[in-house]
Amino acid sequence: MLVKHGNSKYLLAKVKDQSIDLVLTDPPYDMKTPNIRTPPLRHGEKDIYAVNFRRILKRTGNLVMFVGLRDKYRWHKALAERNFILTSGLAMVYDGGIKSDKHFLPAHEDVVHYVLSKEYYFKGGELLLDVYRTKRPRGVTRNWGYDYATAPSEKMNVTPKPLGLVQKLVEVLCPEGGRVLDPFMGSGTTGEACVVTGRDFLGFEINREVYEFAVKRIEDAKLRTGGRRTFW
């Protein structure tokens, strides 16, 4: 296990070529929330990440991202230009409840799955619904939300994904003992999923408060599972 505080755009350069089995992440893409702590990635930054994802993934590796309505098309352009293949996707559905006079309110997030070759790892025989139902994050300032209510503060501008969904993605798309990278680690959901499933984890987070919470969360998960893995 290795988690780092800093900008993943620069930390990625230190990751070895073809050393990652699964990139599983939720890049920032909120375009409207005022005073958001982590701004959306610019188009040129997406290109930088796409280049690095191709470099660090094994030929049998997988790339999975949670993406917004417009961002999925921008990501697809950047990834397709680096010969990534879009192979499947999921929809994470949550309840509506906010009125809008100008547009339809999104009631889901897309989860896109890319690979580099036909030899990508996929654990057959696993049941994974193509629609996963969960709760909408509460409040326009992206309060702590979804499936659990533990947080160092009420308004951290993060939207943690359901642990059950992330854990299943890790189990299906990364062999046991393999390495998972989350360059936008946030609250550490992917890290906890790796601890409880016996995968190695590499995570980056730019926000100090969120990073410290993620470290504690992952360490707590290690204690609950007998401390099978250590930070190095």
Q: Give the CATH number of the domain where residue 126 resides.
A: 3.40.50.150
- 207 or 101, higher pLDDT: 207
Instruction: Please tell me the least confidently modeled range out of 39-48, 92-101, 166-175.
Output: 92-101
User: Which residues form the domain of 7?
Assistant: 2-224
119 falls within a domain: yes
pTM: 0.85
215 falls within a domain: yes
- 229 or 144, higher pLDDT: 229
Give per-residue pLDDT as tens, 127-181: 666 666 655 544 332 333 333 344 444 445 566 788 888 999 999 999 999 999 9
- Contact in structure between 38 and 206 (CB atoms under 8 Å): yes
- Over range 40-67, report the average pLDDT: 94
CA 131, chain centre distance (Å): 17
- Over range 96-117, report the average pLDDT: 80
152 falls within a domain: yes
Count up the domains in the chain and report the number.
Answer: 1
* Closest C-alpha to 166, from 26, 7, 18: 26
Tokens of 159: 């939207």
The one-letter amino acid code at 223 reads: L
116 falls within a domain: yes
